Structure 1
Amino acid sequence: MLTTRSPPASDKQIQRIESEPNIHTACDGQNNLPQRFKRKHEHDDLPTFMEEMRKMFSDLKAQQDRNIEKLQSTINEIKQQNILITESMEFMSAKYEEMKERVENIEIERKKNAAYVQLLEDKVENMERQSRIAGIEIRNIPTQKLETKEILLKKVIDIGKYIGVSLDTRDIRDVFRIKNSRPQSTTNTVVVDFVSVIKKEQILHSFRQFNKSNQDKRLNTTLLNLDGPSQPIYVSESLTSKAKRLHYLARDFAKTNDWSYCWSSHGKIYLKKREGERYVLIHSESDLKKLETQK
């Protein structure tokens, strides 16, 4: 099989197309195509921009310097204030230690003075107790008009005789009434000061025994043929003011807390809860408070 080839085109049929050497010139004549411009580099604005940046940094640095200066000034003021505060605290601390030492010394001195005062009070109490060691007090003896020591002495001797104790005028150093705080009272306490403590103890012991043996007829004004309504006669030790108050509080304590016995001996106060138990010597009110807490 034979292949037929098409004949080559003639020179007339081949058209040569040449491109325009200047594209920009070729496009200038055509209104429908945009004209391209070469980018313009703005080299002239760079110095101005750099100058503005330098100025901005300079202003910022100046502002920071001012702020730092203010901050430093404030820090210096705070440091100065801290120094003053520290000095004040040190001064106050020194004053506090000084005052503390003074207070401690005053407290030590106060305790010494309190101990010395207590010592003096105890001495005075002992002296007063010794002055009353041979004395008794008789209560509820009616007062009579124009009462003399001789009349009181006779009544005391009659009381001794009634309870079984022989008394003589030589046994009694002094006898007198204590002025009562109530002006209208007609039974002011009679104080009898014996020559010996032995005689005083005899009177007290016999009085207790008499009342113990005569529960229905304890010693009273009617038995002694004394004027006025019948009243019980009480005989007790002559106590100091302090001992009297302590005796009163001890009796009240015994009544409230069911203690059976409360008595005084040689000017001292004693308590005992039950028969056969050990007695308790009451030196002060604090002893009663201790017993109260031990319930």
Structure 2
Amino acid sequence: MMEEQKLEWTCHECRSKLPKVGNLNTPVRNLRECDTNAARSEEQATGLGNVTFRKNKSDGNQKAKVSQLPITGSHRKIDDSLVSAISEQVHKVILLELPGIISNIMKTELLSIKEDLQDFRKSIDFISTGYDEMKITVDKLIKDNLVLYNENDALKSTVAGLSERLNTLEQHLREENVEIQGVPEHQNESLPKLLEQCSRVVGCSFKEEDVIKCTRVAKLNKESKLPRAIIVKFRSVRKRDEFYSAVYRYNKSNPNDKLNTSLLGIGGDKKSVFVSEHLSPTNKILHAAARQKAKELGYKFVWVKNGRIYVRKMEGSHYIIIKNRESLGLIC
């Protein structure tokens, strides 16, 4: 006997307890479609298809015993085919429904992404517009800055030229003047008499009308304790040069007793008196800077003639004209 036949084999005791026909609604027994149709045909032939039979008390026990029967190979095949059919149906349903589900999910998610992208695009457009406006503004500022830079250079050149011309004009207005420094101030001093005494000491005679004005001027440095300088304005440059040359010759002839307060008849401590050309404020600052640098670099001579500043390192060497701040670099 084959294994499959053994599985389908039923003992006589169990077989005798099974109903012969009908009873098609048992939960355990699975009849083939052909067996079901045959049973229905038999019921119709006997005329018992519509007859209701009384329930036998032993049916419950019989059903319980039937439920305990082993599942045969044919039954397993039917279950497998049923599972396969159900799985196939489920698979078909999934294939039919899944695209719609996925589509709905994607529509929902993509709608949110689309809204975010729209907001992002608006932000980018706003930034782009702002950048374009800023770029236009920056380009305009660059052009304006270039124009202002060129104008500034031109103005610097103009100011430098005007400053030089103004300094030349101021110095020209002072060409008849001499400046006397180191004379102590007194309340009742007479500057014309002081100038007359100075001219007698240095050996330079001039008439009263040769002097236009003689006065003290304010200090450039308000904190300086030195007395204010005396400015003498002569009628002509020639008279100014005569007096200035006489002072120079006297100091050179008397190196141990140069012009001082004692010689001018001023009491108190003996102090040196200096006579020089009257320089403009710009030339005064330049003269002081030239003297300082010449002292640092060992130059022996620094002097002023006709409003110009000269520097010479030693006797016999070539002189240097100091015209402006840049000319100080020539002292080396």
Compute the TM-score of the two structures, normalised by the length of structure 2.
0.68
Q: Structure 1 residues 27 and 251 mapped into 2: Cα distance closer, same or farther (>3 Å)?
A: same
Partner of 2:206: 167
CA-to-partner distance for each residue in 1:202-241, whole Å, 9 max, x for gaps?
3333333332333222221223333222111100011112
Partner of 1:44: 85
Distance 2:318 2:201 in 1: 33
Instruction: Verify the 8 A CA contact 1:157 1:168 in the aligned structure 2.
Output: no
Q: What residue identity is the alignment partner of 1:213? A: S
Distance 1:136 1:186 in 2: 18
Moved more, 130-139 or 120-129: 120-129
1:183-222 equivalences in 2 (<5 Å):
187-222=227-262
Distance 1:76 1:144 in 2: 92
1:77 aligns with 2:115: no
CA-to-partner distance for each residue in 1:90-137, whole Å, 9 max, x for gaps?
111111122222333333334444444444433332222111101101
1:94-243 equivalences in 2 (<5 Å):
94-148=136-190, 152-180=191-219, 187-243=227-283
Structure with the greater alpha carbon radius of gyration: 2
Distance 2:73 2:248 in 1: 147
Partner of 1:61: 103
Distance 1:184 1:277 in 2: 36
SS at match of 1:275: coil
Deviation at 1:51, TM superposition (A): 0.4
Matched pairs, number: 268
Structure 1: gaps of 5 or more residues: 1-18
Instruction: Verify the 8 A CA contact 1:27 1:35 in the aligned structure 2.
Output: no
Distance 1:183 1:100 in 2: 47
Q: Which consecutive segments of 4 or more residues in structure 1 shift more than 6 A? A: 181-186
1:250 aligns with 2:286: no
Partner of 2:308: 268
Compute the TM-score of the two structures, normalised by the length of structure 1.
0.75
Distance 1:66 1:122 in 2: 82
Distance 2:5 2:314 in 1: 144
Q: What residue identity is the alignment partner of 1:225? A: G
Instruction: Verify the 8 A CA contact 1:218 1:232 in the aligned structure 2.
Output: yes
Distance 1:135 1:167 in 2: 15
Distance 1:209 1:70 in 2: 104
Superposed CA RMSD? 3.4
Higher relative contact order (CA 8 A, sep 6+): 1
Distance 2:8 2:223 in 1: 153
Distance 1:210 1:153 in 2: 20
Q: Structure 1 residues 58 and 271 mapped into 2: Cα distance closer, same or farther (>3 Å)?
A: same
Instruction: Verify the 8 A CA contact 1:161 1:167 in the aligned structure 2.
Output: no
More helix by share: 2
Moved more, 66-75 or 192-201: 66-75
CA-to-partner distance for each residue in 1:119-159, whole Å, 9 max, x for gaps?
443333222211110110112234455334xxx33432332
SS at match of 2:264: coil
Instruction: Verify the 8 A CA contact 2:8 2:72 in the aligned structure 1.
Output: no
Distance 1:26 1:213 in 2: 161
Distance 1:241 1:287 in 2: 17
Q: What residue identity is the alignment partner of 1:80? A: K
